Structure 1
């Protein structure tokens, strides 16, 4: 009985050992060539879609400036106030002229009424009534012209307020209170519209850059020495047809670019080419004394092959490690 139990134990041990050996060998992975997109890390410069100047509409002295660099403004907000002292004098002169014409109008109205009364009594000729009527019309028109001139002066005084041309952020304020400024000169520059990234790449990449291509945006403040750290994605919106100084220019739209400074540079990874590579799953690699090995199934059995590794990439959603040398297309790699 004891010998039977011992025999059964040996059979179970042999069976389990065989099962472990098959499990340790695992499945096979057929090495196949894959096409991957080669990315290039370049610097993109943040720019505003439009930069509008807030210009003075009248000449005069800057009385006050209500914004500074970096201020957020809305369309129609008062940025500064320009005062022209001559406008106050012109306004007083217009008021005096209107008062004088009002007196002349009252006198002409009285003369016209008197002439009409005398004509009704037969004591005056029709010509006198016509003359009085003409004088009344002349003074009425002069008064209307004087009031229109006053309205122009009042409108000029109102135009002393310099308004923001659009919603955005103030970039520069080149004037200060007390400065003398002419009509049409800018008092501030406002960056309006969505920010975007402008890229400048070598001419050899011009053919590979296409509109609609996905672009990886690096983390703000990182450089090439620190390595590329992806923080977001963008899309190539426009590729300019003219090459300047051996560089091709492209614009990248970013949905939420954040609070970047205008003209700030940030790292961008953009697709520039495609190449064919061989890759294996990371679990197929084994490191022995600092050398990477892959187990390959051959006609003579399993063989350990030393390989040189490249970059990692994604193949149909699965991670792969690029094999620069040591394997060929169609090789059967044994997974653990």
Structure 2
């Protein structure tokens, strides 16, 4: 009988020893965790259609100058609140001052001409009464005086107009609001019809969106409308303020305006307007049940033996602390809703 080489015999013992280890010793230990559990039941909910919209200010004024001239000074910055009448910017009054000086000179000349015409008229009036001059000569002096008087009146009106233009050199805010946009800079030429600043009343805001005929037909002014706005943690409760009866000929959609109000809400924000278009059966779980493990959104599902397994789910809208589950769960399954952070795969859950 052949004997085993000592090295081969030692290797055989080593392999045998490794194969004799208990496999269960390498598996992670499972714990028993106390956590609240619910059994999923379908509930009826509105089917919501989300339409894109924009938050806009109900009062929005593009402030322009009534004069043409260089913008001398802009006294406000974007984001700055202003009151009605508060100075926004100033137009260089040099041209206006020149116009006032010219109008004043014209008035002086017209008044002197009127005084001369008046003196001639009074002299010819006396001469006519003494029958020294003819009636034709008298009437001519009278007409000259009337024309001079009218020209003096026109010159005075021109001076008043030129002086009145001075007040337009300083442009104030037409409303209480916030400067939301600067459209020109100091040194630019301002002209009538070309806005320099945009001022909006942020206390009166609306969300504007467009809807197809199928949604428009079921809307009524005054109805509550839910609105989701970027940057706002919770949806806003708005009120339908106006419906445009005429559809856009290109898109065949109607313009809809919703009154909204919330601290921190600003015009220009993107919004999603939610319109109820029907009813359906859905599954919902409390917000606390939805977890994020290694970047995967999911919940712990408890089987008949009480063992928890993490399952990936696709979530939908969240409302009143309840999250809609679009896929990944079925009615009748049991889901961990409390103390989920302490649960791991394979743990036994006790309610």
TM-score, with structure 1 as normaliser: 0.60
The correspondence for 1:271, drawn from 260, 266, 276, is 276
Any conservation in 1 of the 2:216–2:254 contact (CA below 8 Å)? no
Q: How does 1:97-246 map to 2 (within 5 A)?
A: 97-192=106-201, 194-198=204-208, 206=215, 210-211=219-220, 214-217=224-227, 221=231, 230=234, 232-237=236-241, 241-242=247-248
Aligned to 1:291: 303
Any conservation in 1 of the 2:180–2:200 contact (CA below 8 Å)? yes
Aligned to 2:90: 81
Q: Deviations over 1:203-259 (max 9, x none)?
A: 79847974455444568735xxxxxx53642234456655988998754322x3223
Any conservation in 2 of the 1:55–1:183 contact (CA below 8 Å)? yes
Any conservation in 2 of the 1:59–1:84 contact (CA below 8 Å)? no
Partner secondary structure for residue 64 of structure 1: strand
Moved over 6 A (4+): 40-43, 243-249, 310-314
State the Cα distance separating 1:129 from its structure 2 match. Answer: 2.4
Residues 186 and 291 from structure 1, CA distance in 2 versus in 1: closer, same or farther, beyond 3 angstroms?
Answer: same
Are residues 1:257 and 2:262 paired?
yes
Q: Deviations over 1:19-53 (max 9, x none)?
A: xxxxxxxxxxxxx9964324567875322235321
Partner secondary structure for residue 234 of structure 1: strand
> What residue ranges of structure 1 are gaps of 5+ in the alignment?
1-31, 223-228, 280-288, 294-309, 328-336
Aligned to 1:25: none
Distance 1:84 1:313 in 2: 59
Residues 326 and 141 from structure 1, CA distance in 2 versus in 1: closer, same or farther, beyond 3 angstroms?
Answer: closer
Any conservation in 1 of the 2:121–2:138 contact (CA below 8 Å)? yes
State the Cα distance separating 1:171 from its structure 2 match. Answer: 1.2
State the Cα distance separating 1:59 from its structure 2 match. Answer: 0.7
Aligned to 2:63: 54
Any conservation in 2 of the 1:221–1:266 contact (CA below 8 Å)? no
Any conservation in 1 of the 2:229–2:270 contact (CA below 8 Å)? no
Aligned to 2:77: 68
Partner secondary structure for residue 230 of structure 1: coil
Any conservation in 2 of the 1:214–1:270 contact (CA below 8 Å)? no
Partner secondary structure for residue 67 of structure 1: coil
TM-score, with structure 2 as normaliser: 0.58
Residues 140 and 274 from structure 1, CA distance in 2 versus in 1: closer, same or farther, beyond 3 angstroms?
Answer: same
> What residue ranges of structure 2 are gaps of 5+ in the alignment?
1-40, 285-300, 306-314, 334-351
